[in-house]
């Protein structure tokens, strides 16, 4: 769309509304272009020379005599289609225990690709996996765990392991099901919310809310202190071992 005839005072601000309503799970790209001219129609005295800034020269509209008639500002915009968030997947384990659980994530509205294999990446390049499903369409996914802060993410990742086991592709419904094996071994009680963000290289972003609950651990041991007499101290010793450095 085009907006014309907008008057902007010196050092004024111009708000440009941008509405994004994707129809498909893909990445949309466009640009907002602002063309500014003087209200009185006069040109700016700036002239383009060989030593002028190249980035500025590309966005300057010149007259025949080389004066500046208008200036362009180009703002690239990338729209990422994001699916509605489903209900949270709850992963519950008692502290100081180990839980291994399979979790299925359904990706609705995936756009098909046209290669022979699918690659699933994590932040660690050594964990890259090739996943083939025998179909002519090939889908490449990137996934990562997102938390409220880096500190929470670091602690959660020390207790958590996620591995993609299988990918199922339904060509009719365009639904991809990713099956993960989740290992959760918390060392202390916690209740942590996180998101598993899955992005398809053909476009689309899916976020799956996860709730990790670690309940109180079992009692480690019972300490018995036997009295040696009235008004006399009794001492018992025991060792504590730290699970971290």
* Distance from C-alpha of 99 to C-alpha of 90, rounded to nearest angstrom: 12
The per-residue DSSP string of 35-102 comes to EE--TT-PPEEEE--TTS-HHHHHTEEE-TTSEEEEEEEEEEEEEE-BPPP-PPEEEEEETTS-EEEE
* Distance from C-alpha of 180 to C-alpha of 127, rounded to nearest angstrom: 14
Residue 222 has pLDDT above 80, yes or no: yes
Domains in the chain, please, with CATH?
Answer: 1-81 (no CATH), 83-111+139-215 (2.60.40.2310)
Q: Mind listing the pLDDT tens digit for each residue in 182-206?
A: 999 999 999 999 999 999 888 889 9
Average pLDDT of 214-240? Answer: 91
- Indicate the range of 73-77, 134-138, 150-154 predicted with least confidence: 134-138
Question: What integer pLDDT is reported at residue 109 of this predicted model?
Answer: 83
Chain centroid to CA 196: 8
Q: Mind listing the pLDDT tens digit for each residue in 103-118?
A: 999 998 887 765 444 4
Question: What integer pLDDT is reported at residue 37 of this predicted model?
Answer: 86
User: Which one is predicted more confidently, 155 or 137?
Assistant: 155
**Mean pLDDT across the chain, nearest whole number?**
82
Instruction: Compute the half-sphere exposure of residue 199: CA atoms within 13 Å on the CB side of its CA.
Output: 13
CB of 225 closer than 8 Å to CB of 102 = no
Most trustworthy range by pLDDT among 74-83, 98-107, 160-169, 234-243: 98-107
Q: 127: which DSSP letter?
A: G
* Distance from C-alpha of 185 to C-alpha of 161, rounded to nearest angstrom: 9
Which residue's entry shows tokens 């009794």? 234
Q: Which of 105, 101, 102, 100 is nearest to 88 (CA)?
A: 105
Residue 120 has pLDDT above 80, yes or no: no
Average pLDDT of 143-170? Answer: 92
Residue 52 has pLDDT above 50, yes or no: yes
Task: Indicate the pTM of the whole model.
Answer: 0.65
Sign of CA dihedral 152, 155, 160, 163: positive
Question: What integer pLDDT is reported at residue 198 of this predicted model?
Answer: 93
Question: What integer pLDDT is reported at residue 218 of this predicted model?
Answer: 93
Question: What integer pLDDT is reported at residue 136 of this predicted model?
Answer: 34
Average pLDDT of 169-175? Answer: 81
Average pLDDT of 224-233? Answer: 91
């Amino acid at each position: 769309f085009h907006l014309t005839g907008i008057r902007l005072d010196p050092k004024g601000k111009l708000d440009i509304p941008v509405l994004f309503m994707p129809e498909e799970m893909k990445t949309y790209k466009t640009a907002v272009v602002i063309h500014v001219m003087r209200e009185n129609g006069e040109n700016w005295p700036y002239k383009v020379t060989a030593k002028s800034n190249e980035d500025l020269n590309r966005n300057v509209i010149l007259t025949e005599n080389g004066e500046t008639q208008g200036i362009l500002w180009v703002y690239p915009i990338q729209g990422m289609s994001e699916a509605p968030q489903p209900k949270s997947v709850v992963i519950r384990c008692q502290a100081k225990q180990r839980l291994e659980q399979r979790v299925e994530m359904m990706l609705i509205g995936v756009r098909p690709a046209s290669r022979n294999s699918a690659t699933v990446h994590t932040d660690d390049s050594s964990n890259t996996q090739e996943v083939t499903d025998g179909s002519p369409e090939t889908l490449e996914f990137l996934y990562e765990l997102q938390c409220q802060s880096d500190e929470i993410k670091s602690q959660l990742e020390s207790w958590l392991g996620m591995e993609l086991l299988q990918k199922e592709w339904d060509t009719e419904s365009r639904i991809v099901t990713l099956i993960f094996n989740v290992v959760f071994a918390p060392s202390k009680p916690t209740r942590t919310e996180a998101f598993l963000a899955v992005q398809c290289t053909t476009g689309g972003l899916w976020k799956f809310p996860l709730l990790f609950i670690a309940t109180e651990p079992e009692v480690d041991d019972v300490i018995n202190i036997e009295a040696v007499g009235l008004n006399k101290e009794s001492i018992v010793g025991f060792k504590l071992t730290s699970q971290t450095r």
